[in-house]
Chains A and B, each alone.
Chain A
Amino acid sequence: MWKIRPEDNRAGSYPSPTAQPASAPVVAATTPALATPPKEGPKPADAHRPDVARIGKSVSIRGELTGNEDLYLDGEMEGNISLRDHKLVIGPNGKIKANITARDVVVHGRVEGNISTSERVELKRASNLIGDLTTQRIVIEDGAFFKGAIDIKDSKAERTEVRRPMISASMVGGSNATAGPTLSANAVGQGSFLEPK
Chain B
Amino acid sequence: MSSSHNFLRWFRGATPATKPVETPARGPRTTRRCVGLAEFMRDLRGSEDQKPCALDLGPTSPANITFLADRYLRVYNENILRGAMDPTIRTPRDDGTDGLDLEKFFASNLAYQDRHFDAILCWDAADYLPEELVKPVVEKLHRMLKPKGTLLAFFHTRDAGAESPYCRYHIVQPDTIELEPAAGFRLQRIFNNRHIENLFKDFSSRRFFLGRDNIREVILVR
Which A residues contact B (CB, under 8 angstroms)? Answer: 11-12, 14-18, 20-22, 25-26, 29, 138-142, 144-152, 154, 159, 163, 167-171, 173-174
User: Which of A14, A141, A147, A171 is the one whose CB lies under 8 Å from B65?
Assistant: A171
Docked complex Cα distance between A173 and B72 (Å): 10
Residue of B nearest to A142 (CB): B62
Docked complex Cα distance between A14 and B32 (Å): 10
A150, B28: Cβ atoms closer than 8 Å = no
Q: With A140-B62, A169-B66 as known contacts, state yes or no: A22 contacts B26, CB within 8 Å.
A: yes
Q: Which of B3-11, B76-84, B202-210 contacts A (4 or more CB under 8 A)?
A: B76-84
Contacts of A140 in B (CB 8 A): 60, 62, 65
Docked complex Cα distance between A174 and B48 (Å): 9
B65, A18: Cβ atoms closer than 8 Å = no
Residue among A26, A139, A140, A169 with the highest chain B CB neighbour number at 10 A: A140
Docked complex Cα distance between A149 and B73 (Å): 10
Docked complex Cα distance between A170 and B176 (Å): 19
Residue of B nearest to A144 (CB): B60
User: Which of A11, A152, A154, A168 is the one whose CB lies under 8 Å from B63?
Assistant: A168
Contacts of A25 in B (CB 8 A): 63
Contacts of B69 in A (CB 8 A): 138, 150, 152, 171, 173
Docked complex Cα distance between A57 and B32 (Å): 45
A18, B28: Cβ atoms closer than 8 Å = yes
Docked complex Cα distance between A151 and B44 (Å): 16
B27, A147: Cβ atoms closer than 8 Å = no
Interface: B22 (CB within 8 A): no
Docked complex Cα distance between A18 and B74 (Å): 32
Q: With A14-B176, A18-B28 as known contacts, state yes or no: A171 contacts B79, CB within 8 Å.
A: no
Contacts of B172 in A (CB 8 A): 14-15
User: Which of B27, B77, B173 is the one whose CB lies under 8 Å from A146?
Assistant: B77
Interface: B127 (CB within 8 A): no
Contacts of B26 in A (CB 8 A): 22
Contacts of B28 in A (CB 8 A): 17-18, 20-22
Contacts of A139 in B (CB 8 A): 62
4 extra interface residue pairs, beta carbon distance < 8 Å, beyond A144-B60, A168-B66: A20-B28, A26-B62, A140-B60, A170-B66
Interface: B98 (CB within 8 A): no
A20, B65: Cβ atoms closer than 8 Å = no
Q: With A11-B176, A150-B77, A151-B74 as known contacts, state yes or no: A17 contacts B65, CB within 8 Å.
A: no
Interface: B148 (CB within 8 A): no
Contacts of A14 in B (CB 8 A): 31, 172-173, 176
* Interchain Cβ contacts under 8 Å between A and B, 6 examples: A14-B176, A18-B28, A22-B26, A140-B62, A148-B78, A170-B66
Docked complex Cα distance between A115 and B152 (Å): 29
Q: With A146-B60, A168-B62, A168-B63 as known contacts, state yes or no: A17 contacts B30, CB within 8 Å.
A: yes
A149, B75: Cβ atoms closer than 8 Å = yes
Contacts of B59 in A (CB 8 A): 145
Contacts of A20 in B (CB 8 A): 28-29
Residue of A nearest to B182 (CB): A22
Contacts of B195 in A (CB 8 A): none
Instruction: Kindly identify, within residues 56 to 112 of chain B, every residue whose CB is under 8 Å from any CB belonging to chain A.
Output: 59-60, 62-63, 65-66, 69-70, 72, 74-79, 82
